[in-house]
Chains A and B, each alone.
Chain A
């Protein structure tokens, strides 16, 4: 702070904190989304008596956990102005690597998990470096990895599941804390909190928003734009890897065919949650709602016996509608 400013600093005007809070709630973008979600829940529970049972809700949570962790990281990626479509293949590679390392190579379990994550982060770093230093759009590099990593996973396992006989591993994937709460749900909540706090409360997190909002301005303001993008891609890869390990635990095997379409659900949840595809805007809370919405939608459609092919159509339509609503809403926003 310069002296001139200190001298001129007026007594801080008492900010009307109550009206401000009220205004914030009114303008809270996720509020409308939350209402839609509640209405959706009401509709589904009316349509199917099974929907609102504890068991079913826990099942929704279990599924939500799997792609939710990836969706949170994806929100950071999209906010930073990038995209990651390699997450499904990254999850499959992680699962396959774990199977090969543990079953074929006899690597200790814990070490294998660490190794898998390190490889994932390295791939994330690769797309980040390609983006930051060589100008390769992440859409292209992760599209390449989308194919290549899946292929690598299939090469490693010959496309056969590799059973991992471990009670403990199975528990860490499908067990229930205190007999009721799925362990996966705990990961989900922890991931939401960690990434949410990173996004809102750390210099890095706010830098992600600045970089996605205007990379040039961020550079001139001294934000390490390249580094931020690389780290974001690493976080995304790590999250995908965790999702892959989680899925492996649920299946008790290393498997190269898991997580097909994971990228779609993760991106869709972000977009439904209000993340702007061109970057600079989006919240973890919004994505959390988006994740629950998609998980409930998938679950509800199964309960109602919707034709599986028709389910795909519905999923696609929902994303399209979400984008249209976002565009419509931003266009209505007052621009002085």
Chain B
């Protein structure tokens, strides 16, 4: 445990004028599990990318087992003993488990793939995990948790000294998470050093020996897990003690309901959810990943054929919902998948803003360039979208500006109800604050929002009322200042503790 396997000194990385990582020291011992914590943009992925060779440092050194290393790329780092399991899977669904584990290293014999050698390699990697996954199974048909294990097995093929896990539990349910955490402990016991990146605070004491907190590219502190409370950690991460935010939360439950949901059920996801959204209210839905948040919004917006239950808009039951119908009723939905389902990257920011307005607040057939310019100008100004011109392709803008474009699309069409699924994912801090401000301001003008987010702090900050969604059911309701981040977190996790 005292042998230092990885030693980083003064790691610095700049992107243009932004310093993503500033003179960070980082030491990892053999067999240690180190949690790496920090907000989005704190520098977690930068340091991971530097250690694993995806980026090269502007300043500073990396030593692996006493040897100074400077990777030419991820492959070199991998060969040198550092493996990464990224949050996004890099598996080929149509190939077998064994083929995926050995991907890129398929052994050849006389020009053909040596299947028996390949299987032996894969078997060895899987044996380290001690999980029964059939080598010949098609990866695409496996449950997500097993795919995650295959992903880890793939990282183990080169027998790394350091294994980096980036949010490995984000797609898993409680039971699967526990199994994975136990597995990580087993790997550490064999002398492997592990860097564990996660947002889920509850997991840290279960899996990590120590933790390092990053904030704004700086190392804020490294502590033994045993010597620090989760409140202290939260303070280190956010950099401020949790004073009440300046948002005035209001109790809007007396205002008329604009949207009512009655007993929504989605097989395996939602087990009967009912609530109402009031005029000018920001309603937060807090829950862990997989708690059914997205499915609920999709059901309201008419994107799920497998859902049952009633949705009422201004007291009118809406059957056979579709996105078009809901938009005509003044309800808009922004997906958590901004790139895949939000922006149309090749079109300009102006055209992206107008997609829902045309045919609604604008005529159905001909474009009206003057009116369009006016709407675009208003929306871009009020949201402070930064672009060289309204014609700039939205795909070339920053994540924050893209997200403003997607939300702005709903505003341009005069929507009264916004269903926002992770509206701040992958958005920088400044843009986040602007998005919060915008949602609050819209609420003041009578627009109602449902705000779904994995970041409980922002739910606590923005929402008038918070519903806790756990395992497909609404369990608690917190109104106004009751909804503190700690309270929300505790409630969202409650089920996990019971199991």
Chain A interfacial positions (CB closer than 8 Å to B): 1-10, 12-13, 15, 20, 23-24, 201-204, 206-207, 209-210, 213-214, 216-224, 276, 280-281, 334-336
Contacts and interface: CB of A to CB of B under 8 A. Distances in A.
B381 A10 contact: yes
Interface in B384-412: 389, 391, 395-398, 409, 411-412
A31 B252 CA distance: 57
Contacts of A207: 358
A6 B366 contact: no
Given A8-B381, A203-B359, A210 B442 contact: no
Contacts of B426: none
A7 B446 CA distance: 13
A281 B345 CA distance: 10
A89 B364 CA distance: 34
Q: How large is the interface on B (under 10, 10 to 19, 20 to 34, 35 or more residues)?
A: 35 or more
B294 interface: no
A222 B356 contact: yes
Nearest to A11: B381
19 contacts: A1-B378, A2-B445, A2-B446, A3-B445, A4-B441, A4-B442, A9-B382, A13-B381, A201-B366, A203-B367, A207-B358, A210-B347, A210-B351, A218-B344, A220-B334, A221-B327, A222-B323, A335-B396, A336-B396
Contacts of B328: 222
B447 A2 contact: yes
Nearest to A205: B367
Contacts of A9: 377-378, 381-382
A202 B442 contact: no
Contacts of B444: 4
A216 B298 CA distance: 13
A295 to B, nearest CB: 28
A217 to B, nearest CB: 5
Contact of B341 (A13, A220, A334): A220
What 8 A-B pairs come out closest when comparing CB atoms? A4-B445, A213-B344, A222-B327, A221-B355, A216-B341, A3-B445, A8-B382, A280-B346
Contact of B398 (A5, A23, A336): A336
A2 B351 contact: no
Contacts of A218: 344, 355
B67 to A, nearest CB: 36
A13 B442 CA distance: 23
B355 A201 contact: no
A5 B358 CA distance: 18
A23 B348 CA distance: 15
A201 B346 contact: no
Nearest to B390: A15
A6 B411 CA distance: 11
A217 B343 contact: yes
Interface of B: 301, 303, 323-324, 327-328, 333-335, 337, 340-347, 351, 354-356, 358-367, 374-375, 377-379, 381-382, 389, 391, 395-398, 409, 411-416, 441-442, 444-447
Contacts of A23: 389
B382 A5 contact: yes
A41 B312 CA distance: 65
Q: Give the residue among A5, A10, A24, A204 with the most B Cβ atoms within 10 A.
A: A5
Given A3-B446, A209-B351, A214 B364 contact: no
Contact of A336 (B301, B342, B397, B442): B397
A6 B378 contact: yes
Contacts of B342: 217, 220
Nearest to B335: A220
Given A209-B347, A210-B344, A2 B367 contact: no
A202 B367 contact: yes
Nearest to B363: A203
Contact of A1 (B301, B347, B356, B361): B361
Contacts of B362: 203
B378 A335 contact: no
Contact of B346 (A1, A15, A223, A281): A281
A214 B335 CA distance: 13
Contacts of B333: 220
A27 to B, nearest CB: 9
A18 B98 CA distance: 61
Contacts of A221: 323, 327, 355-356, 409
B337 to A, nearest CB: 8
Contacts of A20: 389
A204 B358 CA distance: 10
A53 B412 CA distance: 54
Contacts of A202: 365-367
A280 B442 CA distance: 32
A334 to B, nearest CB: 7
Nearest to B343: A217
A203 B442 CA distance: 28
Contacts of A335: 395-396
A21 to B, nearest CB: 11
A213 B414 CA distance: 24
Contact of A206 (B327, B367, B374): B367
Contacts of B416: 2
Contacts of B358: 203, 206-207
B378 A217 contact: no
Contact of A214 (B341, B366, B389, B446): B341
Given A1-B411, A220-B342, A221-B409, 7 more contacts: A10-B381, A203-B359, A213-B345, A214-B340, A218-B355, A220-B333, A221-B355
Nearest to A197: B366
A222 B344 contact: no
A20 B391 CA distance: 10
A44 B216 CA distance: 62
